[in-house]
Amino acid sequence: MVLSHSDPATGLPVGPRPKPATPAADGYSSEDVLALVLKSVDDDKAEDIVQIDLRGRSDVADYMVICSGRSSRQVASISEKLADRLKQELRISVRMEGKETGDWVLIDAADVIVHVFRPEVRDFYQLEKMWLPAGSTRSAPV
């Protein structure tokens, strides 16, 4: 299934969620995908990495990861390398939007949604405020 666009208010893909991956069927879980995402963005020097558990709060994904790159070029690079690693290591083909401009790239890896922002764009949209549990802060540990 191809999602046509993301909801501008939440930044999440619009459309029904694909059948959840199970370790027995696909050889990986949403936690495996999350671990690879976190390692990949950290290896590529993404800044201010925040992981948000969406289980029980959204049917779109189990986790959301939000991070920043220092420039449009770094945002695009972090996103490309993440997509390559997911494909090589877990055989996941992701859907990606926004890589051309490099301001905000959304990567849909089914059970994990990743947002890679330039800092100014991230501050403008403030997705963490919308999705972090009450009382949490943006600089929550990963």
Domains in the chain with CATH codes:
27-131 (3.30.460.10)
Q: What is the pTM of this model?
A: 0.78
Please check the confidence at residue 69 and state whether its pLDDT lies above 50.
yes
Residue 135 has pLDDT above 90, yes or no: no
**pLDDT for residue 64 is more than 70:** yes
Contact (CB, 8 A) for 11 and 22? no
Strands of the sheet with 112-117, listed across from one edge:
47-53, 63-68, 112-117, 104-109, 95-97
Q: Give yes or no for a contact between 83 and 102, defined as CB atoms under 8 angstroms apart.
A: no
Place of tokens 């100014």: 120
Residue type, 8: P
Tokens of 120: 């100014």
Better-predicted residue by pLDDT, 19 or 59: 59
| Cα 117 from Cα 94, distance rounded (Å) | 17
Arithmetic mean of pLDDT over the chain: 84
Six-digit token pair at 54?
A: 């969406």
Considering only CA atoms, which of 8, 60, 65 is closest in space to residue 36? 65
Q: Which residue has the tokens 């800092």?
A: 119
CB 113 within 8 A of CB 64: yes
